[in-house]
Amino acid sequence: MNNPFAAIKISERVYWVGAIDNEIRDFHGYSTSRGTTYNAYLILGEKPILVDTVKAPFFPEMLARIASVIEPEKISYIISNHAELDHSGALLPTIEAIKPEKVFVSKMGAAALKEHFNRHLDLTEIKSGESFTLGDANLVCLETRMLHWPDSMFTYFANDNILFSQDGFGMHLATYKIFAEENERTTLQHEAMKYFANILLPYSSFVTKLLDVFPSFGLDVKILAPDHGPIWHQVQDINWIMGLWQKWAKQEPTDKIVICYDTMWDSTAKMARAIADGIMTEKAEPKVMPLSSCHRSDIAVELLEAGALLVGSPTINNQIFPTVADVLCYLKGLKPQNLIGQAFGSYGWSGESIQLLQEELKSIKIELFDNPIKAKYVPNNDCLVLCKNLGQNIARKLKS
Ligand code: FEO
């Protein structure tokens, strides 16, 4: 009873032995305002198996949770579904502590782990899609390349109908309610959407392909256990999250128009407000996102269910305002699809940023709606009417 951390039973033979990170607020550029979890799973049986580990600082916690169920040295195997360090950071100390007979990885995982740790590792590559047995555990591993890394893999534990889906169907949410159904549905939907928009978006076509072929694998999944956030523990919830992924991967445009901007002396902000007014009069949805209070990862979330992106920036020292440049760089990597867009902004001398913004939108493959709108110093009434007209026209186009 002197163990501070306990494993949580999630099925007949499987325990959650992960860690809850209440403090993380930045996940390589993505704002994790509700923290996250690093989920690792212990399968009991003739030959106990550990599925994934945790971020390095949480290794003692994971080991303590394992020890609340069995002596860690009794674990025979590790399956590493994903090499990213939030799941493999504790792999080396875990191997050292439990000395498993084998560590199973995908082909790409073997290469990635060796390159991460820059040392020889005795890893066993698994063939994707082939059933295999470890002791009395019946398993299938499925490579899910580029979901979201080349090494990514799912593991299905047939005895308890659990699919361990590493980052798949996860979210950054530090919660002590480890089953999805115990959490607020709106929170789950928001955080799952944020995760998809910021992590999976560039790989949407891979998501669609996977979900299209998934039924053909014939897996009877009753529990979906990702490496972040709550566990999908009810079949209707599994269908719900998979349905959302299917929808998000399509990136179908709506009549929501995201207006993302920053401002120096309120001129660009005035233009943004006039554009929003035009959108409102057409009964479309303006989403006004000043970068003084909106994070780049929140822009990505809103764009996932939008039809247009309007970007505004003043010109500062012949350049785009730094916060706006930051968002555009981030979006270029996320490769959002099916958007139209346009630039607007104020300037004092030469106004380079407006043309630079249009070029950036083109490079993100956002279809330009019209020529950009520029205001010298402070937008006059005519300029604000032009902004309002832009809002109306773009809204009409999306609603038509
Ligand atoms: Fe949660 Fe791709 O690591």
Q: Coil, helix or strand for 367?
A: strand
Q: Is the peptide bond before 87 cis (omega within 30 degrees of 0)?
A: no
Residue 131 pLDDT: 95
User: 345: which strand partners?
Assistant: 374
Cα of 168 vs centre of ligand 1, distance in Å, is 9
Domain over 8-250 is classified CATH 3.40.1190.20: no
Of 228, 233, 295, 298, the active-site residue reads 228
Would the pLDDT of 305 be above 90? yes
Task: List, for residues 194-229, the tens digit of each pLDDT value.
Answer: 999 999 999 999 999 999 999 999 999 999 999 999
Told to judge if 172 belongs to the known catalytic residues of this protein, a careful annotator would answer: no
Greatest CA span in the chain, whole angstroms?
78
Question: In the chain, where are the structural domains located?
Answer: 8-250, 256-399
Task: Decide the pairing of beta strands 340-347 and 41-43.
Answer: unpaired
Task: List, for residues 370-389, the tens digit of each pLDDT value.
Answer: 999 999 999 999 999 999 99
Task: List, for residues 275-287, the tens digit of each pLDDT value.
Answer: 999 999 999 999 9
Chain position carrying tokens 């992590």: 199
In 231-286, which residue ranges form alpha helices assigned H by DSSP? 235-250, 267-281
∠ Cα 168 232 157 (to 5°): 75
pTM: 0.97
Task: List, for residues 54-63, the tens digit of each pLDDT value.
Answer: 999 999 999 9
The ligand 1 atom at the shortest distance from the C-alpha of residue 227 is 1
Q: What's the sign of the alpha-carbon dihedral 101, 91, 54, 52?
A: negative
Of 30, 41, 148, 298, the active-site residue reads 148
Domain over 256-399 is classified CATH 3.40.50.300: no
The contacts of residue 298 (CB under 8 Å, 6+ apart) are: 31, 194, 289
Task: List, for residues 167-189, the tens digit of each pLDDT value.
Answer: 999 999 999 999 999 999 999 99
Structure tokens at 14: 């499987």
Do 141 and 107 contact (CB within 8 A), yes or no?
no
Structure tokens at 278: 């035009």
- Computed on alpha carbons and rounded to an integer, the radius of gyration of the chain in Å comes to 24
Of 86, 143, 227, 237, the active-site residue reads 86
Q: Whose CA is nearest to atom 2 of ligand 1?
A: 84
Cα of 137 vs centre of ligand 1, distance in Å, is 26
Would the pLDDT of 1 be above 80? no
Told to judge if 195 belongs to the known catalytic residues of this protein, a careful annotator would answer: yes
Do 370 and 344 contact (CB within 8 A), yes or no?
no
DSSP state of 255: S
**167 CB near ligand 1 (under 6 Å):** yes
Q: Whose CA is nearest to atom 1 of ligand 1?
A: 167
Pairwise CA distance, residues 152 & 37, whole Å:
18
Told to judge if 167 belongs to the known catalytic residues of this protein, a careful annotator would answer: yes
**84 CB near ligand 1 (under 6 Å):** yes
Would the pLDDT of 103 be above 80? yes
Cα 194 from chain centroid (whole Å): 6
Whether 8-250 shares its CATH topology with 256-399 is answered no
Pairwise CA distance, residues 75 & 45, whole Å:
10
Structure tokens at 121: 């590792």
**52 CB near ligand 1 (under 6 Å):** no
Please, which pLDDT band fits residue 2 given cuts at 50, 70 and 90?
confident
Please, which pLDDT band fits residue 16 given cuts at 50, 70 and 90?
very high
Told to judge if 203 belongs to the known catalytic residues of this protein, a careful annotator would answer: no
**87 CB near ligand 1 (under 6 Å):** yes
Task: List, for residues 325-343, the tens digit of each pLDDT value.
Answer: 999 999 999 999 999 999 9
Told to judge if 84 belongs to the known catalytic residues of this protein, a careful annotator would answer: yes
Cα of 29 vs centre of ligand 1, distance in Å, is 13
Pairwise CA distance, residues 193 & 188, whole Å:
8
**82 CB near ligand 1 (under 6 Å):** yes
- Got the DSSP string for 214-234? GGGG----SEEE-SSS-BB-S
Cα of 87 vs centre of ligand 1, distance in Å, is 7
Task: List, for residues 108-158, the tens digit of each pLDDT value.
Answer: 999 999 999 999 999 999 999 999 999 999 999 999 999 999 999 999 999
Do 8 and 15 contact (CB within 8 A), yes or no?
yes
